[in-house]
Amino acid sequence: MNTEKSINLKKPTLGVCYYPEHWSEYLWENDLDRMVEHGIEIIRIAEFAWNKFEPKEDVFNYDFFDRFLDLAYSKGIKVIFCTPTATPPAWLTNKYPEVLNAREDGTLYRHGMRKQHNYNSKVYLKFVSRLVDKIAAHYCPHPAIIGWQIDNELNCETNVFYSESDHEAFRIYLKDKFKTLDALNEAMGTTFWNQTYTAWDEIYLTRPTISNSNNPHLSLEEKRFFSHSAISYCKLQCDIINKYKPEDQFITTNGIFGHLDSHEMTDSCLDFITYDSYPNFAYDTWTDPKKPGNLNDRRSSWSLIRARSISPTFGIMEQQSGAGGWDTRMKQPAPKPGQMRLWTFQSLAHGANFISYFRWRTSWIGTEIYWHGLNDYSNEPNRRLAELKVVHEDFNKLSEVAGTHYEANVGFIRDYDNEWDGEQDKWHGPLDDFSNDSWFSASQLTHTPMDFVYLKSGCKKTTLEDLSRYKLLVYPHATILTKETAELLKMYVEQGGTLIMGSRTGYKDQFGRCPMRPMPGFASEICGVKVTDYTLVGPADEDEYAVWDNEEIEAPIFNDILQPIGDAKVLATFKGNYYDGAPALVVNTIGKGKAYYYGAGFSEKAAEIFLRKLGFSCPYKDIIELPREAELAVRSNDSHQYIFVLNYMDHSIEVDVKKIANDLLSGEVISGKVSIEKYGVIVLEIS
Ligand code: GAL
């Protein structure tokens, strides 16, 4: 396990987001005292408070946060201090509108929300650099500060940038990457529809086009550029803080958002990532929360797996504590009694050692008056604060969990190129989304813990060692598959791994072009397969199936009709459509391992069948049996396993513990049938 980019805490620790600038100063002391009383040890402050430091251009003031930090320190509270660059002041954007981000048509986003700035304006970068320098120089020595958060949620609110500065920076980025216009034209396939560029300043990021359709290769490059811009912006700030900070202060940022390679960002300039977890989005953005089998709030585990793929142990900078809602959007219920604690444990189970709630008190002003914190507007005692006390008592019993890591034998491969290419590619993207969701659900429902393995090309390239810690790797639709990646996957299989790939693999190159070669391109040799024909399963087609050992397995969305090569064997054939009876699933043995190619998208049922038939399902069944409604997660170190069971249901469930275990929260030694209350959790220690 690579722990280099992990959070370093001796015990799971609670925190909260606090906004001293939202409240009269007389409230601070009482707030801090009550935080201590409720087990809060760390607070995050200042991420939107630019005017408190620089109320006018080039006029700096530190009194406000000096007073607050001194008070926090006197109470023994530690502080994560933020750079306040997510909300540029009105005086700045009014005088220098070039710092603003813009829509595709060039219309500027104006003052009144947040994140209205771009990452490339020289003027903005100058203001940001000067402010961060001043803040870091002044506050780094403060003994209350344990770490820094850069900005807030990079690429949140919008992850596309079309200001003049961005167009200009894009040209520089392309020049640096392709060197000549000829090379750029070749890579971007501009001979198609006469898009050839004859000068660098003819090139733009997306602007309005007919049918909103764009050169797909340039669109992919654009996303790489957005990511590059956000990382440079983050790194600029980190470099400045690094000049001043003592060694033991960390630098992080919060959230994982689109068009940003958070792995590259963390590897290149942060100490670890923190994530913002709001499981109640289940009732807001995810369709049909009442549908049977919908994982709802449990689906947040997907994002926690993602955070863990960046930092094996990480932090939650914002953990949902109350109802979510802006005055203009979102309709989330309040977490039901027990759910705040459950979601806290969901984060802990997945590897979060620091969990900080959003926010101490519900804001009485602004867009987020409905985004509830631990305290209500009234500041009266409430059930959420009472629940926090319970969490605090729980955490006191779990110190040793901090030194453990999440256990998984199954790795789910992901990469940013395919993620970003799939946004525009309507053949590949929806197929990928469908299969991702299926594999995640199958792993959850069968209690087969899974990690994400991001293929990294940046400063910390993925190695064979990174892959070979997994017994099974699933890479459903690696549409863009380079020779280098294919070679790595081949080595993984040769040394004994099992690899599963699916339809639409390997037909694109790194620019998203489809070169002249048999499909699935570089995967052909690994999987021992050639695609002889392929088709989208159209709306008028029957539901497609394959038959594997007399068992029917769904074969939806896109079918690759296969031909085995060499010693590879056909395991399943299609049923229905014009390719009835043709090979649908092929297995190839290379070295000590096996590679499977399935010529279809993976439904949840199909993913479950793969896990079962290949022997990867339910690896902990000798320790515990539990219903599908509950999530199982295991954190371990060399000597102990900590089994987390999370009950997301509004009724109690029963689990069967097959060993003698210490129930850490009740303090009892248990074995056999155990009931877990609604929204309840258990943590069992097995030695
Ligand atoms: C996060 C953000 C917070 C707050 C919260 C609730 O995305 O970082 O500042 O806005 O959502 O909306």
Residue labelled with tokens 């430091």:
53
106, amino acid identity: G
48 CA: nearest ligand 1 atom: 9
Q: Cα separation of 560 and 507, whole Å?
A: 12
Residues 279, 300 contacting (CB under 8 angstroms): yes
Ligand 1 pocket test, pick from 85, 318, 329, 362 with the greatest ligand atom count within 8 Å of Cβ, gives: 318
The ligand 1 atom nearest the CA atom of 326 = 12
Is the Cβ–Cβ distance between 271 and 251 less than 8 Å? yes
Pick the CATH number of 13-159+232-403 from 3.20.20.80, 3.30.565.10, 3.40.50.300, 3.40.250.10: 3.20.20.80
Determine whether domain 624-686 maps to CATH 2.60.40.1180: yes
The pair of three-digit structure tokens given for residue 252, joined into one six-digit string: 């992080």
| pLDDT for res 625 | 98
Peptide bond preceding 359 in cis form (omega within 30 of 0) = yes
Q: What pLDDT sits at residue 286?
A: 60
The answer to the question of whether 427 is labelled as a binding residue is no
- Give the rounded distance of the alpha carbon of 12 from its chain centre: 21
Question: Probe ligand 1: pick from 82, 256, 276, max atoms within 8 Å of CB?
Answer: 276
pLDDT value, residue 285: 62
Q: What tens digit of pLDDT does each residue of 570-582 get? A: 999 999 899 999 9
Can you tell me the distance from the alpha carbon of 428 to that of 481, in angstroms, rounded to the nearest whole number? Answer: 13
- Is 326 annotated among the ligand-binding residues? yes
d(CA 354, CA 402) in angstroms, rounded, equals 9
pLDDT score, position 1: 42
CA of 417 to the centre of ligand 1 (A): 27
Q: State the distance from the centre of ligand 1 to the C-alpha of 657, rounded, in angstroms.
A: 39
- H/E element, 393: helix 383-396
Q: 557 — alpha (psi -120 to 50), left (phi > 0) or beta?
A: left
Report CA(107)–ligand 1 centroid distance (Å). 25
State residue 289's pLDDT score. Answer: 73
Tell me how long the chain is. Answer: 687
What local confidence, expressed as pLDDT, does residue 459 receive?
77
Query: What number does the ligand 1 atom closest to the CA of 317 have?
Result: 8
Among 18, 80, 115, 153, which is best to mutate for testing ligand 1, by the most ligand atoms less than 8 A from CB?
153
Residue minimizing CA distance to atom 6 of ligand 1 = 371
And the tokens for 307? 């955070």
Closest Cα to atom 9, ligand 1: which residue? 152
Measured in angstroms, how far is the CA atom of residue 212 from the centroid of ligand 1? 30
Interval between CA 263 and ligand 1 midpoint (Å): 21
* Closest atom of ligand 1 to CA, residue 330: 12
Contact between 283 and 320 under an 8 Å Cβ cutoff? The reply is no
Q: Kind of pairing, strands 274-277 and 250-252?
A: unpaired
Q: From the alpha carbon of 47, which atom of ligand 1 is closest?
A: 9
CA neighbours within 13 Å on the CB side: how many for 452?
22
- Burial class from Cβ neighbours inside 10 Å (0-12, 13-18, 19+) for residue 264 reads buried
Q: Is the pTM of the predicted complex or chain greater than 0.85? A: yes
Distance 556 CA to ligand 1 centre (A): 37
The whole-angstrom separation of Cα 392 and Cα 40 is 8
User: Catalytic site residues?
Assistant: 153, 318
- Closest by alpha carbon to 400, among 640, 657, 671? 640
Structure tokens at 615: 């022997």
Residue 377, token pair as written in the block: 């507007």
Question: What is the domain partition of the chain in residue ranges?
Answer: 13-159+232-403, 410-613, 624-686
**Short-list 278, 63, 281, CA closest to 153:** 278
Q: What distance in Å separates the CA atoms of residue 199 and residue 185, rounded to the nearest whole number?
A: 11
Cα of 250 to ligand 1 centre, how many Å? 22
Helix (H, G, I), strand (E, B) or coil at 129: helix
Q: Rounded to 5 degrees, what angle do the CA atoms 45, 46, 50 make?
A: 180
Give the Å distance between the CA of 118 and the centre of ligand 1. 19
Answer yes or no: is 114 a known binding residue: yes
Cα 359 to averaged position of ligand 1 atoms, centre (Å)? 9
Q: Can you list the residues of the chain whose pLDDT is less than 70?
A: 1-3, 284-287, 292
Please give the distance of CA 364 from its chain centroid, rounded to a whole number.
30
Sorted by sequence, the CB contacts under 8 Å of residue 280 that are 6+ apart come out as: 297, 320, 323, 324, 332, 333, 335
Tell me which architecture the domain covering 410-613 has in CATH: 3-Layer(aba) Sandwich (3.40)
Query: Quick check: helix, strand or coil at residue 33?
Result: helix
Ligand 1: which residue has its CA nearest to atom 1?
276
Residues with Cβ within 6 A of ligand 1?
Answer: 152-153, 156, 276, 318, 358, 368, 371
- The tokens for 98 are 């070039």
The answer to whether 42 and 145 have CB atoms below 8 angstroms apart is no
